[in-house]
Chains A and B, each alone.
Chain A
């Protein structure tokens, strides 16, 4: 059996009356990439913060790298890396200084920090910007610097809260590549994301959170197979025919979702479904055929589309 790197049992957190995390269980194995999906406010960041000790659990158990977060948080923080959702780079320092100063917080020897900082600048392709003040970096560069910063202490586990939000496609692919390299090097990754393709590409296993609960767990492919039909037809009918088409699809398809003016029909036999729609004579402005993806699982389970 793979050793467990993180284990949560009945983990909960309330802010005053409001319960942000309502008793969740999950385990992360050493060396895997574990994802958290969920709509805004689902409780993902709260869960991440409990892992790195900035939010104290209100109840339940949480152990990280084999240590209890309530008792050994300093030791845990020494061994993990953190990429927060909100950028908190030190604006008064240069790119290189940000890494050097951060390395000192871990009491690493000077020489080691210096060597690692140069390696990490190389790793996230910021060597050329090393003398620049942080405020002069683009958003994507800041994100990459945050990732480099999280690696200064050579952590065995890295928590990444939306590592690629706000990045252009190229920058995102670069980050994915770096994360894959890390994982292949044996580092455990825990990440949250709003991008289904990111989760599908990077995560070995993931959970979907909604309203403070974990509502599904599994490998991306398995989640798709178990929670939705394999084929999807997306229809955009004339607004006045939306209701009619929805009624028709509900009888013909296995499952229908509506997202604003878009109807998504799930089926095992898209040809037959298409025929039925044509026969009905309802005017369609736009039709799209595709394979079901994680996004469809998400939509079905949370009743919300992630990227509107």
Chain B
């Protein structure tokens, strides 16, 4: 079966469709993203932070605040590319309608990547504002956070879409969240640095995606060093290497 190269124009149309719907409820949809950071920062930053003095020369609130930006983007893009995509695929038959137009199946998948990235960007921007108000942002480099979170969103959308393209029932997402998303959340250096652990812990962390995203958001909020270019490159290469696989698999689910 021949695959078509995705068209950006077609992808944009799919993105536009999602944006049209998002526009209707963006205020209530974004609200939790203003509130959620407060819970984390209060419970962990203040609660746990009372016992933890400093990590890497930063107080605990400062340590976890910007790092949570990365996991926030991961959650936003993961929900979008799992539950939301599955509903559009199976229950809403949204994609069945679209593939009968000049927008091809390949374009749909890429459009959903872009949309997940956009959601991560929107949520991340809201979160960044909260951090800034709390005085946890110290560098103008933080202006690069939104576009970077877009990239992180696309990366996790590729991963989530890959899982979506393989499963038959919506119940299987419990596996994805329990075995992939949650461990990444806990072991990517958000709450404690993994670099100090003995081998192979840092090496394993290095091979996972959220670890690099955390390095970058933390650095952009406080003033980066050139090392984060390696993390950005890791993310770009990982995303690019994986991106076409879900496209291929999703095409098979839409075209027989």
Contact = CB atoms under 8 A, between A and B. Distances in A.
Interface of A: 15, 52-56, 70, 73-75, 77-78, 82, 84, 86-93, 97, 101-102, 104-107
A222 B1 CA distance: 41
17 contacts: A15-B256, A52-B100, A73-B104, A74-B4, A75-B102, A78-B102, A84-B97, A86-B96, A88-B93, A88-B96, A89-B97, A90-B97, A92-B92, A93-B21, A104-B13, A105-B10, A107-B13
B99 interface: yes
A102 B255 contact: no
Nearest to A87: B93
B20 interface: yes
Interface in B75-102: 92-94, 96-102
B138 interface: no
Contact of A107 (B21, B96, B100, B102): B102
Interface residues of B, number: 26
Q: Which of B2, B17, B97, B255 has the most CB of A within 10 A?
A: B97
A224 B254 CA distance: 39
Interface string B1-31: 1101001011001001100110000000000
Contact of B21 (A78, A88, A92, A102): A92
B255 A105 contact: no
Contacts of A15: 256
Given A88-B94, A93-B20, A105 B101 contact: yes
Contact of A105 (B13, B93, B96): B13
Given A88-B93, A101-B20, A107-B9, A53 B2 contact: no
A166 B1 CA distance: 35
Contact of A55 (B4, B16, B104, B256): B256
B114 interface: no
B103 A105 contact: yes
Query: What 3 A-B pairs come out closest when comparing CB atoms?
Result: A88-B93, A105-B101, A88-B97
A148 B77 CA distance: 34
Contacts of A73: 4, 104
A86 B100 CA distance: 13
B1 A105 contact: no
Given A55-B256, A105-B13, A70 B2 contact: yes
Nearest to B25: A92
Given A15-B256, A93-B20, A102 B96 contact: no
Nearest to B104: A74
B96 A74 contact: no
B94 A53 contact: no
A286 B81 CA distance: 61
Given A55-B256, A101-B20, A84 B101 contact: no
Contacts of B104: 73-74
A55 B101 contact: no
A93 B19 CA distance: 12
Contacts of A78: 102
Contacts of B93: 86-88
B256 A101 contact: no
Contact of A102 (B1, B92, B97): B97
Given A15-B256, A74-B102, A104 B16 contact: yes
A286 B191 CA distance: 84
